[in-house]
């Protein structure tokens, strides 16, 4: 059997051929079409999970920023349950809420209080020192509430994106009081 030379006339003749086997073409293309469908579905579900997590973080941050009475551990447990309900996360989730005060003389934020539900620990002043590019400019002695949510998502099909960890970092200024207080342990 001789070698077939790939020349322009040979390629044109190959492109003009219209004979073939539909069953063989279907056999070749069906797995590709199914994989593309599974990939699109998994990517859509992953983006939807990112969107739900972001909405949950903003909702919890807004909810806490409206409090005029001190919140407590039961309040944060309820907020963590809300995060799980909105995201319908199958894996472990984390909610971390931190009240920060800005000191203009030191040009930095200090932790007023911080509490976490889930795997992450509460925030320390050393953690906040690394957040300078993530926090807004606010007046001296003002407070903000930082709400962080973290969940892990498992896509419906394994298409190579693994199990992304979805993290949100939301800051909100207290709305009806100068700061949000925490009572209890």
Q: How do strand 108-117 and strand 93-103 relate by DSSP bridges?
A: antiparallel
Q: State mean pLDDT over 96-107.
A: 94
Q: Could you tell me if residue 159 is inside a domain?
A: yes
Please report whether residue 52 resides in a domain.
yes
Domain count, the chain: 1
Name the strand (E) or helix (H) holding 112.
strand 108-117
Residue 122 lies in a domain: yes
Q: Copy the structure tokens of residue 32.
A: 């590709």
Query: DSSP string spanning 122-162?
Result: PP-HHHHHTTTTTS----TT-EEEEEEEEEE---SS-SS--
Taking only the tens place, the pLDDT of each residue in 113-168 is 999 998 889 999 999 999 888 999 999 999 999 999 999 888 888 877 777 888 99
Beta-strand relationship, 165-172 and 108-117 = unpaired
> Rounded distance, CA 179 to CA 126, Å?
21
| Domain-located, residue 15 | no
10 inside domain: no
The structure's pTM equals 0.79
Domain assignment present for residue 5? The answer is: no
Domain that holds residue 37: 22-172
* Residue 164 resides in a domain: yes
8 in a structural domain = no
Longest CA–CA span in the chain (Å) reads: 88
Residue 53 has pLDDT above 60, yes or no: yes
């Amino acid at each position: 059997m001789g070698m077939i030379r790939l020349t322009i006339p040979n390629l044109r003749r190959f492109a003009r051929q219209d004979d073939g086997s539909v069953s063989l073409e279907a056999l070749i293309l069906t797995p590709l079409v199914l994989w593309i469908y599974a990939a699109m579905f998994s990517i859509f579900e992953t983006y939807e999970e990112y969107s739900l997590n972001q909405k949950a973080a903003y909702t919890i941050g807004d909810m806490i920023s409206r409090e005029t009475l001190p919140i407590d551990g039961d309040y944060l447990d309820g907020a963590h349950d809300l995060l799980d309900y909105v995201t319908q996360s199958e894996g472990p989730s984390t909610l971390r809420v931190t009240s920060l005060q800005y000191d203009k003389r030191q040009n930095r934020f200090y932790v007023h209080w911080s509490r976490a539900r889930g795997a992450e620990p509460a925030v320390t002043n050393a953690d906040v020192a690394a957040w300078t590019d993530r926090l807004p400019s606010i007046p001296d002695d003002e407070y903000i509430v930082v709400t962080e949510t973290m969940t892990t998502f498992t896509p419906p099909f394994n298409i190579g994106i693994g199990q992304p960890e979805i993290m949100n970092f939301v800051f909100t200024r207290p709305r009806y009081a100068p700061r949000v207080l925490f009572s209890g342990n």
